[in-house]
Structures are given as C-alpha cells and as structure tokens.
Chains A and B, each alone.
Chain A
C-alpha cells in the first residue's frame, strides 16, 4: 500500500480536486412544524440559486437524520453524514437551531480513453470530521461575535430580523472559508502568544491599567503585538474568536502606513501629528476630517451570562495593536476618539518600539534565527496557547504548511485518538514515507513532532523528542 502521489501514478493528466463548500444552511424545525410550512424552517441557505423544493428536501433529510440518530441516543444526535460524494456536518449551537455544512469530498478525475467521460475517484478518507466539525462551530462563533445569539435576535425582531442578520453575515463570511487548507489548527482554535520577558510584560500591563483608569468607559482591553496576543481581559472563548477575526480579517486589511509607498493613499497626512504612529483600525480612518462619519463594529461577549454588547475599538501603532471594548449603549463621539488618540498614540508608539528592541535583544542572545530544527505543533487546552513551526506565514486566505498534507492528516488522526480518552497518552507512528510522527498528551497539553529520520528506530526517535522537550518544553511532558 504505497503512498504514491496521484499525480505520479499515471502518465496522463489527472485533476485533483480539493474539498470545497457545496452548501450551507441554517434551519429551525419549530418555525414550520406543519405540513406545507416547510419553507418557514429555512433561515439561511447557500447557494441561493437552489430551487425551493430541493432546499426543503435537503433540510428534510437533515431533520430525518437527526431524528434517526436520536433513536439510538436521544442526547447525542448526528454530527456528520458521510456519503460517497460529500460530507455533511451538523451543529446545534442553540436549542432547535441547526447549522449544516456540506463539503464535497476531494476527488481525482482521471481522463478515460476514447472520448468516454472521465472516471472520478472520491477520497473520503481525506476529510477529517474533527477538522471540519470545528470549522462549522467556528462559523457560529464568528457570527455570534458580531450579531449575538440567534435566540436574542429572534426575540428582538422575530424571524425577519434573524434572517436579515444571517444573510448579511454569512453571505460574506462563507466566501472567506478556505476548506482546502483546514487542518489540526482549526480543531484547536488556539491563540499564538508573543514571547516576552517579565519587564516588558509589566510595562504593557501598567500601560493597560493607566489607559483603563483614564478612560473609564473602557470595559475590556486586549494587547497584541505582531499578530500575537500578549494580554487579554476577555473570557477565553470570546478572546479566541476575536483573535481569529483580528488575525485573519482585520489586520491583513491594514498594512502599515510607514511601509506604504509615497503615493499610497495609506500614507497619513503629514500635517500636524508627528508625535506618534498611532491610528484607528476600526472607527475613524481620518481624525482630521470633521465631516467624516465613522462607526465602530459591535461585538457580543459573555453570551452565556451577562450578554454584553460592546464597541470594538482597535488602535494600532507600528506592530502593537490594542483593542478597547466599551459598552455599546454609550455613544462614542469624535471628541472621545481624539482624547483616546492623544492619550494612547504616543504611549503605544513608545511601547511598540520598546517591545521591538527587547525582542531583538532576546533573539541576539538566544542565537541567530536559523530554520527551526524541529517541526512541531503545540497546544495547551488551558490557556489556548498554540505554537506551530510547521505553519508558515498565515495570510487571510491560506496557511501554508511545510510538511506533506498526509502527515497533517496523521496528526489529525492522533488528535482524534487523544480525544477518545481523558488521560495522558503517547502515540508514535512511522508513516509509509518513513517519516516519524510523535504525539504526546500530558495534562491538557498536546505536542506533535514530525521527524524526517528514515533510518531511525523507535528508541532513537524517542531520544530526539526528549531533546526537543528539554529545550522547549521543560518540565511539561513526562518522558521515559
């Protein structure tokens, strides 16, 4: 059973299709319980061109499957449906509200001779339920961050308001899903933390405290540097989805004006403010213009208990970005923004260059930055910290990995195995390509290491991983 890349397998032109979104819909069976009312259940359906009856049938199938699985266990209904050609994922984020995502299985199209239609081979095993299930859940989390829960919208404005919100959000959001590059990191939904020394960390803490004291309206703050988190006052689950939004949507849209060319519209107006490099990423793009209208995006946090709606102010200076969250009931005026700008701009600019300097010093001490020796992924369930030396620059659209996708899927398999039991475990495998993969789970932390040592045996591999753990993960993993 060799793993030959399909492209090598035959001499003719083979087309490899990656997984793609076939459809995505949201429904609530309670909204159309009687016969003839089925259409009322459907709150959102993509693609919109699908004929009404087919939409009803597809929703009906999902309802039937959920009901059917309840036959065997009423409390654990369907999570996914596997068919030859596609896979459907089910998620019930709020009672009776169901989200369904249908993904087309990756396939290989092999041309046939004699003008016959090409044969298609579906590769069902290439899709991991854990990965795409997590992607679907994240769709809900992202929606909820900007729109609050389904239930509240329904209470506030009935089905019409809910449908409107869903349409507005998902129409755009679905376009940002890049299903072909989802992997283990989507399962974790973790946060990359910026490594800091104690002094600098304290400087940042005191900066946050000062600002929160001066601007009493600020309820929560989060501090990031270089797309990595340093400090957050938000609950973990809220921060993780906000972090995803910031790093995959907001930040990539705003490149640094200092780096922008002379004729770029991003270059700030020179007049006046040379005191700092601070600027708003949300809200007023240009404080100088008194006529310009602005508004801040609203986010919803703590939806399980206090259910707060907040303005999201994201303010950036060089590589440092701060999020200020203020109760949405307050009207944020231009004066307030100018006050914030004057207060935060200079301090943040200074802080940003401090951090940069300190970071460079640290790097010089620890040695030149060569290609990281080990390819690994680390995740800590307790603080959501994740680190990957396998994934290279994450852009908004794609996160590239430096290892073969099959190895990433093996990591996904090991992660699924870890999830079966709530105990410390270790799994070591040797793949067909002679790569070794070591997975360790210890006390809520998971570590995956990929070793390209074809001739090593189990004991040698073990020694290698021990070395890695000694340098990077001291005292975390129990080793034999």
Chain B
C-alpha cells in the first residue's frame, strides 16, 4: 500500500504479495497512522478512536473491568497460538486460548464438534481452516448471530491475507505466528467489531444508501460509468459510511455478485486506514465471498479535500493499474465538478424518522426485495437514530432488540411470519419477507396499541413507496463499454 500526494511523484508500487516473505501490507497499513490529523472526521464516525483502541490492547486481563466487557472475541491458530483478542493483549491470554483449543480438540476426538457453551455468557466456537475463532458474549445474542460475527472477523482477516495464503502458511508451519502478518491491523478488526454492534448492515446483510434525488444519483452513475479502464471491476462512491453510487463490470453483476458483507469489509478496511486527508491509496484487498484466494487492487481517494467526505473506490484485477486508476479518478473528479453534484451530496441528509411523519414510530429498518434479479446487493435503509436511542449505549440496545427479533423470525427450525413484542420500554414489530417484497422492523413507543401500530406501519410503507427512488439504488448500472 502506498500513500501518495496528489502531485503523483514516483515511488514504489506495492511489492509482490507473497506475504510469507514480507509483511509489507500490514507495515504499510500501520504506517498510515503516522499522518492522522486532529480533526479526522472522515468516514470514521462509527469507529472508536485510536486512543481507545490502544487502551484496549493494554488492558489488564482477568480483572473485573475485563470481565465486565460486553463481548470478547478471540482468534487463535489450530496449534493454540494466540492471534487476536478484542480486549486485553492476546499474549496475556495465551493460556486461556490454549484451553479453548484443548476444548475444541477434546470434543473433536470424540467425532463431534463443539459449538457453544452457555453460562452467564454465551461462548461460541467456530473453526475455519487452520483458524479457531471464539466469542464470549454477554449480549444475549443468538448463537447463529455470534457465529456470523465470527465469520465476518475471519473474512476480514482473509480480506487482508487471502484464504489460500492462510491455508498455505499453516500447512507448511503449524506453529506459525500469524500476528507477524497481522501486526498493526488489530484496529481493523476492533473497528469491525464496533461497527457490528451498532449498525444494522451486518445483521441484514445489506448496505445503506444515502438518500439522494434520483437526478443527482443518475449524474454520479454516468460519471462512474464513463470513467473506465481495462480490468476495472467496480467503482463506488461512499460518503459518511453510506453508499452514493456503485457501478460494476457486467460479469460481476451477472455471474459473481458482490456480496454486501464484502462491501462492508472493504469499507471497514478503508475506514481503518484512511485517516489522512489528501493523497491516494493503492492497496491489495481480497473480497472473501467473491473470491477468497486472490487479491483485487483498490484505489482509494477523496474527491473533496479538505472536507474529505466523498470517497472514491476503484477495484481492479490488475496489479499495475495504479496510474490508470488515478486517471479515472481525475475524470470522475472533473465530471463531478462539472455537474456541481458535490453540493447536493453535502446537503443530502441521511434520512430521519420524523420525515415519515408518524408520531408513534421511533425507528425502523426496511429492506426491499423487489429489485431485479441480477442485483446482488440488498439496500437497506436505516434512519438516523434519535432520542431516546441517541446515546451509544441506547443505540446498541436498540440493535440488540432488532437482533433478537431477527434471530427469532429467521430461526432455522421454527421461523415466524410475524413477531410483535410489547414491553415497558418499547413495542417492536418484525415482519420478514414472506410476501417476497420486503423485510421490516419497527420500533414504537410502549404506549401504542395494536391498531395504532398497524396503522403506523401502513403509513410508513406508503411513505417508503413514495420516496423509494431516492432512498434506494434500484438498478445498479454497468460500465458503459
């Protein structure tokens, strides 16, 4: 990965990606921390600040403070060697990790597979290839969801190293210390775990779009469509963590399909490394669901220094395509400037519940399904969370409620068509995609009765139908060549 200023002076392109020999990738990744500016307000609003992460790594283990943490995540190798721990240094936890590995092996010997342990925590085990991932959570999430989070952690690691590399490394040396390759990227995983707590995108396997007038979005689409180069697979524009426009190569859409989780991981990786304002990034990234064994090459730059709120990402299969990508960026910048679209973007508000105009409704999640078949992504729409869920804690609590609803209605053995849950603090409704058209979750004040709730939902659906052109990206454009 290389950091360049806009003058484009020559430097070295990324070295070869045989990571066993060099730790270039991660060294470069950690190198970006050096240029962190004070007001780094760019994409990272959801990510904990670097200083918090530092404390977490140095945290004392086995103390009351450590034990009171909501969720622990551990990654270790089959040989029991520690690789990562969310809270506390993984080195200090190596004996605990040894125990985890022993439990896994013991059950395996009996021809069985350990899945989870329930105590005051839910402790979930997952083995992926030579890695073992464990989550110990007080969040009372379902086992399936905790396992899905671990899978995301695994995929984030794959996005940095590729699955083929990981397997190869451990095949040659069972005792390899993977930290050598991941050094400095713990914060990527930390960031991922933070985002998963407070965002609904992972739960729903969907991405969030910034509501934008369809005319503006069309302009952006066209600009991206025209700025192509051979081997370019994907172009996307992101702002404030939300998608503005995404244009893909024809075969990607039709055959391979970019999955929302890959997009999340990509955005997370970028979030963790782009704490700078000016300059461009050129970095190898693996998209695990798309193809876990090879790298794409990602070009990342901001279109609007110094605010740095609109981020351009170009994905190419060509390692040498940096200059071509930079050229695309220049064209895109020009196109965007010519159409004064940047202003409409900066004015665009992430939608808020009060826009819907239904008094009892506090929050909702809505995911449409009636998009053309070839569209891989599932847009999801989450309004800004406002009072009484505006604080970090309340936001996580709200997500916990949604997560619980999700696990009940999508249970593998007894799924549900509808779930209505009324408590002292709020009333919740979950309505999965049985009709095939959408899936939605709604949160009301606890004082609603059922008629009010149903009425509110009806009004909400009507509003969404009216606004859907600017809320969602309904048909993703392809490159024009």
| Interfacial residues, chain A to chain B (CB-CB below 8 A) | 1, 3, 57, 61, 64-65, 67-69, 71-73, 75-86, 123-126, 129, 406, 409-410, 413, 417, 420-421, 423-432, 434, 457-459, 462, 480
Contact = CB atoms under 8 A, between A and B. Distances in A.
Contact of A64 (B72, B102, B112, B453): B102
Nearest to B417: A430
B112 A76 contact: no
Residue among B62, B408, B423, B453 with max Cβ neighbours from chain A (10 Å): B423
A265 to B, nearest CB: 48
Contacts of B67: 72-73
Residue among A79, A83, A126, A420 with max Cβ neighbours from chain B (10 Å): A83
19 contacts: A1-B412, A67-B99, A68-B103, A71-B99, A72-B72, A76-B119, A77-B119, A78-B117, A80-B118, A81-B118, A83-B115, A123-B413, A125-B414, A129-B118, A410-B414, A426-B422, A429-B408, A429-B419, A432-B416
A61 to B, nearest CB: 6
Given A69-B117, A72-B121, A425-B422, A432 B413 contact: no
A125 B115 contact: no
A334 B136 CA distance: 62
B117 A430 contact: no
Given A85-B112, A406-B413, A462-B450, A427 B117 contact: no
B411 A125 contact: yes
Given A71-B96, A78-B118, A82-B118, A420 B106 contact: no
A459 B417 contact: no
B119 A78 contact: yes
B421 interface: yes
A72 B408 contact: no
Contacts, number: 145
Contacts of A432: 414-417
B49 interface: no
A458 B117 contact: no
B414 A423 contact: no
Interface string B112-139: 1111111111010000000000001000
Contact of A423 (B136, B423, B451): B423
Interface string B399-417: 0000010001011111111
B91 to A, nearest CB: 16
Given A123-B413, A413-B414, A426 B421 contact: yes
Q: Is the interface of A mostly helix, strand, loop or mixed?
A: mixed
A420 B140 contact: yes
Contacts of A429: 408, 416-420
Given A129-B118, A429-B420, A462-B450, A3 B103 contact: no
Interface string B86-118: 000000000010011011001100011111111
Nearest to A434: B417
A333 B62 CA distance: 62
A80 B116 CA distance: 8
A353 B40 CA distance: 86
Contacts of B62: 71
B103 A65 contact: yes
A339 B340 CA distance: 105
A77 B119 CA distance: 5
A443 to B, nearest CB: 12
Contacts of B143: 82
* Interchain residue pairs A-B with the least CB separation, the first 6: A76-B120, A69-B119, A125-B413, A480-B449, A430-B418, A73-B120
Nearest to A480: B449
Nearest to A66: B119
Given A64-B99, A423-B424, A480-B450, 16 more contacts: A3-B414, A65-B117, A73-B119, A78-B118, A80-B117, A86-B112, A125-B413, A409-B413, A423-B423, A428-B419, A428-B421, A429-B417, A429-B418, A432-B416, A432-B417, A458-B454
B115 A82 contact: yes
B417 A124 contact: no
A425 B112 contact: no
Given A426-B421, A480-B450, A84 B413 contact: no
Contacts of A71: 62, 96, 99
A277 B66 CA distance: 68
B119 A427 contact: no
Residue among B143, B450, B451 with max Cβ neighbours from chain A (10 Å): B450
Residue among B114, B118, B421, B422 with max Cβ neighbours from chain A (10 Å): B118
B416 A430 contact: yes
Contacts of B118: 78-82, 129
Contacts of B103: 61, 64-65, 68
A430 to B, nearest CB: 4
A373 B422 CA distance: 26
A406 B417 contact: no
B113 A458 contact: no
Contacts of B450: 458-459, 462, 480
A458 B123 contact: no
Contact of A84 (B100, B113, B414): B113
A3 to B, nearest CB: 7
A421 B423 contact: yes
Contact of A81 (B114, B136, B404, B417): B114
Contacts of B119: 69, 72-73, 76-79
